[in-house]
């Protein structure tokens, strides 16, 4: 998997959860549905991922990670992100990608790029009117991924 695909998968992930961080896999004590169900299920997650990746790919600070990829490679990025979000939110999906650390090693992703991606995720969640509780759950899951994605020194 090349650098752009790995970056997108993680950013999208970065932005959405982490397969290693199971969120709300079981209903809460109050009987609340899983995060997967609260987000609207697979189709809703896929729509969020499509919008989010589109924003990343067209951002001047991040677009270099998407340049030169075939249509098939871009579809693979999208599918990995959908899988990861679905699985992390307690849905029926299984994430088939590598760890975030393995996927992003040597890419030189900066703190500034991470922050740009988070802003795009926020804009996407705004567009789809994702609720405050769901946002909080998503961003709580994203935070631990930062250490595996952002490198201290760009290469």
- pLDDT tens digits, the chain, 155 residues: what are they? 444 434 444 444 444 333 333 444 444 445 678 889 999 999 999 999 999 999 999 999 999 888 888 999 999 989 999 998 898 888 999 999 988 899 888 888 999 999 999 999 999 999 999 999 999 998 887 778 899 999 865 44
The length of the chain is 155
Torsion, Cα 43 46 47 53, to 10 degrees, reads 180
CA nearest to 80, candidates 101, 106, 53, 105: 53
pLDDT at position 31 is 66
- CATH homologous superfamily of 3-21+34-149 equals Globins (1.10.490.10)
The residues spanned by each domain of the chain are 3-21+34-149
For the entire predicted model, the pTM comes to 0.78
**59 C-beta neighbours (distance < 10 Å), count:** 17
């Amino acid at each position: 998997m090349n650098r752009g695909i790995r970056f997108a998968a993680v950013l999208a992930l970065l932005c959405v959860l982490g397969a290693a961080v199971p969120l709300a896999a079981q209903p809460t004590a109050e009987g609340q549905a899983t995060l997967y169900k609260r987000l609207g299920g697979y189709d809703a997650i896929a729509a969020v991922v499509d919008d989010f990746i589109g924003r990343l790919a067209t951002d001047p600070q991040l677009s270099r990670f998407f340049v030169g990829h075939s249509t098939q490679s871009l579809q693979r990025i999208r599918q990995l992100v959908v899988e990861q979000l679905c699985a992390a939110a307690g849905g029926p999906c299984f994430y088939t990608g590598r760890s975030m650390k393995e996927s992003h090693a040597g890419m030189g992703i900066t703190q500034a790029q991470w922050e740009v991606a988070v802003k795009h995720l926020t804009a996407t969640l705004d567009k789809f009117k994702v609720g405050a509780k769901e946002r909080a759950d998503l961003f709580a899951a994203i935070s631990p991924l930062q250490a595996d994605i952002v490198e201290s020194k760009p290469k």
